[in-house]
Amino acid sequence: MNILVCIKQVPDDSVEVHLNAEGKPDLKNITPVVNAFDTYALEMAARLKESSEGEITVVCMGDASAKNSLKNCLAVGADYAFLINDAAFEDSDTRGITHVLKNAAKKIEADTDKKFDLIFCGKEATDAALGQVGPMLAEELGVGVITNLIDIQLDTDKVTAKQETEEGYRTVESKIPCVVTVSKPEYDPRYPTIKNKMAARKKPIGNITMSDMTNIKAEKVGKENTLVNAIKLYEPPKKEAGVKIQEETDEDSALKAVAMMAEAKVF
Amino acid sequence: MADCKDIMVYVETAEGNPVKVALEMLSPAKELADAKGGKVIAVVIGNNIHDAAQKIAQAGADQVLMIDAPEYEKYNMDVYADVLANLMKEISPEVLFIGGTQDGKDLAPILSSKFEAGCASDVMNIKIDDTGKIVFTCPLYGGTILEDIEITSFPKIAVLRSGAFPKLEDSTTGEIIEKQVSISNDCIHANIVETVKEIAESVNLEEAEVIVSGGRGMGNKDDFKMVEDLSNLLGGVVGATRPAIEEGWISKIHQVGQSGKIVAPKLYIACGISGATQHISGIMNSDYIVAINKDEDAPIFEVANVGIVGDVKKVLPIMIEEIKKIKEAQ
Ligand SMILES: Cc1cc2nc3c(=O)[nH]c(=O)nc-3n(C[C@H](O)[C@H](O)[C@H](O)COP(=O)(O)OP(=O)(O)OC[C@H]3O[C@@H](n4cnc5c(N)ncnc54)[C@H](O)[C@@H]3O)c2cc1C
C-alpha cells in the first residue's frame, strides 16, 4: 500500500484570529500547526499501514516554515516528506493548489516508480474551511473520492469506507486508486515518542519546485491566475455584551436572570 | 456564452422533499437573475420527484428541470455530478448555486474542477456591486474574519450556507420541464452500499425559536440532562458544543457552530460553554443570548445579553423551577 497524505500548515485553531492594523489576519503570535483534519488523515493512514504494510509519503505546499510540520508528520507515522515550495505558487487558489498537488504526486510516482494507491486529505482546513482540495484533486486525477471518513478498510482492489453523516454513517466503496478526506474518527492522533522525534529530525525533507514538475501549467498557479479573488477582509459586527450577573449566591443570580428574561419576554 | 445570465440552482431532496437550503437559495438566485436579466433554473434529480419539483416551481424558480428516473433513486456523487455537468454544458448558466449540505459540499468542488470554475464555499451573503460584479461573503478562521470575494471565471459556483438566506415570501409559479440526461457508466468510481441512521429523532436546530445548549462545563451525561429539561420546558431544541458531543453526552446532530448547525433562534441559552469562535460563529444570529459560566472572563459573556457568572449545576435547577412557576402563572 503506497499512501500519499496531503497536509496544510495553519495557525493554531485554538487561538482566535483577528485583523491587524493593516487589515490583514494577525498571525504573528500564533503557532503554525498541521491542520487538525490532516493529523486525523495521517493517523488513519498510519493505522492502515500498520494493519497491512506499505509506506506513507507526506506533502505540504507552503513556505520553508512548513518543514517543521513535515518533521512532526515524520515522527507520527510518515516515511517520506516533501515540501512543495516555489514563489510562483504563492497565493494560488484551490484550482492552482490542486494542480500543483497533482503534479507533485505524479513527480514522486515517477521518481520512485511506484503509484500511489490512496491519497489522504483532511476534510477541510481549519483556516478557510473550504473543503475543496480533496474532491478537486480526485477530479484532476480522474479517480474517485470518498469524503468525511471516520474509518477505512482495504481489500485487494477497493476500499470500503465509513463516511460520517449527520444522522449516522454511510458505507462507501471505491475502486483504488482513490482520494479520501478524513473527518474526526473515534480515536485521537498519536503523540510522537522521543525516539521517533529524534529519528524524524534526522530524516531528509525533499523539496519540489515548479521546475521539477514537467507538466505543470504556469497559467494555473499563483496570485495572477486565481479564479477566486479576495476583495476585502473585515470582522463581523460585534454583538454588544449585555449585563453580567454575579450575586452573592448562584440562586440569587439565577433568579435575577430569570426576572430579566421574563421582562424581555423571551419565553 | 458569457452573455448567458441564468442562475442554475441544484435542489437536493431528502425523502422526496427539497432540503431547506434549496428553498432558501431561490431568493438570492431570483435577486441575481432579476439584476442580470436572466432566469432562475432549478434542477431536481431523483426518482418520483414530481412533488419536490412542484414545490420548487411554486417557491420562485422560473424553470424546474426535473431529471426523474429510477437510476437516480439513490444518490451517487459521481452520477449526480455528471448529470449536473451535462446540464451546465447545455444551459451554460453564469452561476450555479449548490446548498451547503454534506453532499452539496462534495458536488461543488467536483463541478468546479470539471469546468475550471471558481468556487465560493460557505457563502453567507451575496450582493451585486456598482459595477455589476457579484460579491460573495465567506467566513475565514472560524468566522472571526469575513472575506468578500469575486469569482472571475465563467461559470461561477457558490455553495450557500444553510440558514443564511430567507425563503422567498410570495413567489410566482414556474414551469416544470422533464428532461432525460444520459450518463456514461464509466463516470462511476464509488458507490454507497449502505446508509445507516443512528439517530431516530428529528432535530431541527436551524428553525428552532428556542435553543438550550450545553458544553463541556455540564460535566457529565447525567447533568447534561438539565439542559434537556430546560429545553423541554421552553419548547426548544437541545444544542451542544463539539466537546459535549465527543464526550458522548448527546449525538452529533445537535452540534451548533462552524462545523455543526448555524442557528438563529429568538432565545439561545448557553450552559457551561466557553464561547470559542467556532461555536460563537454559529449563534451570532440569535436574538437573545443567555450564558451561564463559572468563569467571569469566559468569551461567551462578550456576546450574551444576560450572563450569569456561577455554577451551572446550581443555576440551572433554580432557573427551571422559576421558569416553571412563571409559566404556570401565565
Ligand atoms: C475545525 C474546528 C471546528 C470546530 N467546530 C466546532 C463547532 O461546530 N461547534 C463547537 O461547539 N465547537 C467546535 N469546535 C471546538 C471549539 O474550538 C471549542 O473547543 C468548543 O466549542 C469548546 O466547547 P465548550 O465550550 O463546551 O468547552 P470548553 O471550551 O472546555 O469550555 C467549558 C466551559 O465550561 C465552564 N464550566 C466548567 N464547569 C462549569 C460549571 N460547573 N459551571 C459553569 N461553567 C462551567 C468553563 O469555565 C468553560 O468556560 C471546533 C474546533 C475546530 C478546530
Domains defined for chain B, CATH in brackets: 7-187 (3.40.50.620), 201-329 (3.40.50.1220)
Beta-carbon contacts of B244 under 8 Å, excluding residues fewer than 6 positions away, are B214, B215, B216, B218, B224, B250
Dihedral sign for Cα A33, B142, A234, A220, please: positive
What is the phi-psi region of residue A222: left when phi exceeds 0, alpha when psi lies from -120 to 50, beta otherwise? left
Asked whether the beta carbons of residue B289 and residue A239 sit closer than 8 angstroms, the reply is yes
Please name which of A236, A15, A26, A20 lies closest in space to residue B276, comparing C-alpha atoms: A15
Q: Which atom of ligand 1 is nearest to the CA of A129?
A: 1
Task: Report the pLDDT value the prediction gives residue B242, as an integer from 0 to 100.
Answer: 94
Mutation choice for B interface testing from A127, A170, A221, A261 by most B CBs within 10 A: A261
pLDDT in tens, B301-312: 999 999 999 999
Domains of chain A: 2-225 (3.40.50.620)
Task: Report the pLDDT value the prediction gives residue B67, as an integer from 0 to 100.
Answer: 98
pLDDT in tens, A129-150: 999 999 999 999 999 999 999 9
Please name which of A124, A145, A151 lies closest in space to residue A48, comparing C-alpha atoms: A151
Instruction: State yes or no: pLDDT of A259 exceeds 50.
Output: yes
Instruction: State yes or no: pLDDT of B2 exceeds 90.
Output: no
The partner residues of A146 in beta bridges, in order of sequence, read: A180
Query: What are the distances in angstroms from CA B299 to CA A56, B265, B285, B292?
Result: 41, 20, 17, 11
Q: What is the DSSP letter of B142?
A: G
Ligand 1 mutation pick, B278, B290, B294, B297, max ligand atoms within 8 A of CB: B278
* φ and ψ at residue A139, rounded to 5 degrees: -65, -45
Cell numbers linked to B206: 436551524
Q: What is the DSSP letter of B255?
A: B
Instruction: State yes or no: pLDDT of A95 exceeds 60.
Output: yes
Task: Report the pLDDT value the prediction gives residue B170, as an integer from 0 to 100.
Answer: 72
Residues A96-102: what's their mean pLDDT? 98
For cell 429568538, the residue is B266
Query: Taking CB atoms and an 8 Å cutoff, what residues of chain A touch B275?
Result: none
Beta-carbon contacts of B19 under 8 Å, excluding residues fewer than 6 positions away, are B11, B12, B13, B99, B101, B162
Cell numbers linked to A190: 498519536
With contact defined as beta carbons under 8 Å apart, do A92 and A41 qualify? no
Instruction: State yes or no: pLDDT of B1 exceeds 50.
Output: no
Task: Report the pLDDT value the prediction gives residue B171, as an integer from 0 to 100.
Answer: 75
Mutation choice for A interface testing from B96, B111, B113, B241 by most A CBs within 10 A: B113
Confidence label for B3 from pLDDT (cuts 50, 70 and 90): low
The partner residues of B46 in beta bridges, in order of sequence, read: B68
Q: What average pLDDT is seen over chain B?
A: 94
pLDDT in tens, B208-251: 999 999 999 999 999 999 999 999 999 999 999 999 999 999 99
For cell 503523540, the residue is A191
CA distance B264 to chain A (A): 14
Q: Return the number of other C-beta atoms located less than 10 Å from residue B137's C-beta.
A: 21
Quote the CA–CA distance of B175 and B286 in Å, as a whole number: 37
Task: Report the pLDDT value the prediction gives residue B244, as an integer from 0 to 100.
Answer: 98
Confidence label for A127 from pLDDT (cuts 50, 70 and 90): very high
Quote the CA–CA distance of B292 and B95 in Å, as a whole number: 44
Of B146, B289, B326, the CB nearest to A262: B326
CA distance B46 to chain A (A): 19
- Determine the 3-state secondary structure of B74 from DSSP: coil
CA of B120 relative to ligand 1 center, distance in Å: 28
Cβ contacts from A onto B, under 8 A: 253
CA distance A43 to chain B (A): 18
List % helix, strand, coil for chain B (3-state, nearest 5).
35, 30, 35
DSSP string, chain A: -EEEEEE-EEE-TTS---B-TTSSB--TTS-EEE-HHHHHHHHHHHHHHHHS--EEEEEEES-GGGHHHHHHHHTTT-SEEEEE--GGGTT--HHHHHHHHHHHHHHHHHHHT---SEEEEESS-TTT----HHHHHHHHHT-EEEEEEEEEEE-SSEEEEEEE-SSEEEEEEEESSEEEEE---SSPPPPPPHHHHHHHHHS--EEE-GGG-TT--GGGSSGGG-SEEEEEEEPPPPPPP-EEE--SSHHHHHHHHHHHHHHTT--
CA of A241 relative to ligand 1 center, distance in Å: 19
Rg (chain B; Cα; Å): 22
Confidence label for B50 from pLDDT (cuts 50, 70 and 90): very high
Residues making up chain B, counted from first to last: 330
pLDDT in tens, B157-176: 999 999 889 888 877 889 99
Please name which of A257, A16, A247 lies closest in space to residue B267, comparing C-alpha atoms: A257
**Neighbour-count burial of B86, counting CB atoms closer than 10 A to its CB (0-12 exposed, 13-18 middle, 19+ buried):** middle
Quote the CA–CA distance of B160 and B20 in Å, as a whole number: 11
- Determine the 3-state secondary structure of B122 from DSSP: strand
Q: For chain B, how long is the longest CA-to-CA vector? A: 67
CA of B215 relative to ligand 1 center, distance in Å: 6
**Neighbour-count burial of A130, counting CB atoms closer than 10 A to its CB (0-12 exposed, 13-18 middle, 19+ buried):** buried
**Parallel, antiparallel or unpaired: strands B13-14 and B17-18:** antiparallel
What is the value of ipTM here, to two decimals?
A: 0.94
